[in-house]
Amino acid sequence: MGPFSRWAVFNPKKAVGIWLLLMVSIFGLAFAFKGDYNDSFQLPNTESTTAQALLQDKFVGFEGGKDAAQATIVFGVDKGKISSTSNEKQIDAVLAEIKKNPSAIDVQSPFAAPAGQDATAASQQAPAAGDAAADPSGTAGAFLAPVSPDGKVARATVTLRAVDQKVDAADVKSLLATVKDANSATLSVGAAGNVIDFAQSDTPPTEGLGVLVALIIMALMFGSVVAAGLPIVTALFGLSAGLTTVTLFTRFADIPNFATILASLIGLGVGIDYSLFVINRFKTAVDAGREPRAAAIEAVNTSGRAVLFAATTVIVALAGLFILRVNFINGLALASMLTVLTVMLSALWLLPALLSWLGRKSFALKLPWARNVKQHPRGTLFARYGEALQRRPKLLAIGALLVMLVIAIPTLSLQQGFTDNGGKKEGTPQRIGYDLLSEGFGPGINGPFVVVAELPKPGDLSGAAELAKAIQGTQDVAGASNPIPNDTKDPSKATAAIISVYPDSSPQAKATTDLLTTLRDETIPKATADNGVKAYVGGAKATVVDFGTVLTDALPLFLLAVIGLGILALTVLFRSLLVPVIGALASLLSYGAALGVAVSVFQWGWAKDLIGLESTGPIAPFIAPFLFAILFGLSMDYQVFLVSRMQEEWTHTKDNHRSIRRGLAGSGRVVAAAATIMAAVFLGFVFGDADTKLFGLSLAVAVLLDAFVVRLVLIPALMTLFGDANWWLPGWLDRILPHLAVEVDDEEFEREAALIEDVPDADDESVGAKV
């Protein structure tokens, strides 16, 4: 990027014009060729994925099929029977209103189905094979019946039209509104089903709060409205280009809707930080007396190269997520990588051009607290801090380590999974539906397993019937249906069948996980050993368990790739072995802190009301690896910004103590400001949905801890203790590694050194600096 950045400085008007032309081109291409966002969740080579694929292929109209989706409307009474004349009239009125919904294909009343059959079975009139014909519900009568055994709860099935596995969100919200309005003093009405949950995840985040805080911090730093606004303007231009590029890539890749929110969160934060780092170096050079164009060249040759390296590290860390081979995570990673790339380009192309074009007007509209440049005989605040740190490095290193470890303690209680409606806020349709189903039919009704059986030959349901009987007799199974064939009009042509399995325990219970293992490893293999049936267990709980297995298998390679490449990159940059290892391993502390915060708030419920969190529960499996990739990249950003200044001093002075102090004096202030800004941007997202809140809060806390505790305390304290060993690199390794100068070359350094030497350095024990 160096030549492009320098060209932009010398040709600012052309550079800005080309940037705007590129943006217009991207917008045009995205409008013309955009695809659809895809929220599908598929795991590679897992049994739950196979089961889901068979459902979509062979069972049109079944929940999970490709042409329709189902929602359950649940009715309950405290007194009397749900089937009383007055209650039935109220229920019929509610269902009649739901039938008017544009997406409603079929509405099956609980009172229209024959006793012992659920609405789906009744509508399909599914015949059973062999002994199953006498009782098509098998031992799952209490679960499959539309009315609970105590007569107080009833459920209706609503089949909704799905296009490409999506139901119109507005229609789902209209259905929910109908359900909510139907509640009365005598009748409770709730709803259940994945289609309803998915339609509730579009609460927009409020990035404006973070941008406002960023503007205030930079106004305090630069004392100028223009200088404070430039990083935000360039970051927003880069973010817009990135999100538009993501829209274009939906035509070529599976990118979920949530990716745009996550990409905005990451892109806005790093975009402002990258621009801040460049403009801060520009201001330092201008304050030291350099002409604006020369100052812009110095900024891109120094901070610009550090930004390039830092952004590349973030992109590489995100690219490591592809090792997990999960399409949902791949889509999130791709969107985030594209956005980081575009905000980096805006910081290294658009911003240098604007700085060159505006010149000294970059600091126009000065604010009342703006002050003239002055010298500090005893050094700036961070210079004096560096001196104090080097007096007690052991104490500060131990203290910083203990702080991070204590905050990370809740990570030991991390429970991964997808939250169910049992954690929703009381009074919501989903929570009412969950509670009514549990009370009327038992906890297993809210998390059934779906066994999809491929028949040995068309119409041969005997083996599937044997399998159903074996499952019904399995310990901890509360009930299981007899097989329902995929061709109910002509069962002789059926090629597959479904068996619904209801556990004794709730979806989040360990006993449910153990039952899944029993079904897969014992019950199904024994029951299908001689009849040619191939059966696969799917369902939400099965997907969560399989996801954990996929992550466990891929985690060692993922960590090795991300951390290993990070250490290698920092080794090339700093010409050191020890500093990269310390920096990379220290990022694990920040990751532990992020998970600790996530568990404390989103799993345990600490202070959840402060961020408007309605429900608590397990942490979604994709969040842990994604948090690691993001935080590792951001941690390496601050490592580069801070240590690159130290490495520049070491290259020319060979004085470790002085290099650390000068690094803190030169970059400590901007690292602290950048971390505060990024945390503010992240906190602006806590007003989104649950997953957005989790990312926003966890990343905000982790970034603050990483910058103020790890990078500004632990790292310089350890580097002080290690002395000259920080910069040791074997000769043979030095010869084979490429040389990458992040800071100025020798000739440029001599010019910069003259400016640095103007700053008093009393007895080499305090570092002066200009501000």
* Residue 750 scores a pLDDT above 80: no
Average pLDDT over residues 511-533: 93
Q: What is the mean pLDDT of residues 457-480?
A: 91
pLDDT of residue 464: 92
Is the CA virtual torsion 201, 204, 207, 212 positive or negative? negative
Report the DSSP pairing between strands 104-108 and 153-161.
antiparallel
Q: Are 175 and 69 in contact (CB under 8 A)?
A: no
User: Residue 164's pLDDT is what?
Assistant: 59
Residue 758 has pLDDT above 70, yes or no: no
Query: What's the one-letter identity of residue 23?
Result: M
What is the per-residue pLDDT for 134? 34
Confidence of residue 640 (pLDDT cuts 50, 70, 90): confident
DSSP assigned state of 322: G
pLDDT score at 39? 74
Q: What is the pLDDT of residues 235-286, one digit of tens each?
A: 999 999 999 999 999 988 889 888 888 898 889 889 988 998 899 888 888 8
At residue 766, does pLDDT exceed 50?
Answer: no
Residue 767: per-residue pLDDT: 32
Find tokens 């009009």 and name the residue.
489
Q: What angle do CA 368, 373, 378 make, to 5 degrees?
A: 120
Residue 336 has pLDDT above 80, yes or no: yes
Instruction: Return mean pLDDT, the chain.
Output: 83
Higher pLDDT, 119 or 684: 684
> Bigger pLDDT: 385 or 143?
385
Distance CA 662, CA 636 (A): 19
In this predicted structure, the answer to whether residue 121 has a pLDDT above a threshold of 50 is: no
Annotated domain spans of the chain: 2-33+203-418+545-764
Residue 90 CA from chain centroid, whole number: 43
Q: Collapsing DSSP states into helix, strand and coil, what is residue 739?
A: coil
pLDDT digits 0-9 by tens, 161-195: 877 567 777 888 899 899 999 999 899 999 988 77
554: CB partners within 8 A, 6+ apart: 323, 324, 325
Are residues 341 and 312 in contact, defined by beta-carbon separation less than 8 angstroms?
no
**How far, CA to CA in Å, does 287 sit from each of 56, 138, 228, 375?**
65, 83, 16, 11
What proportion of the chain, given as a percentage, has pLDDT over 70? 87
Q: What pLDDT shows up at residue 547? A: 86
The residue that leads in pLDDT, 593 or 378, is 593
For residue 597, what pLDDT is reported? 92
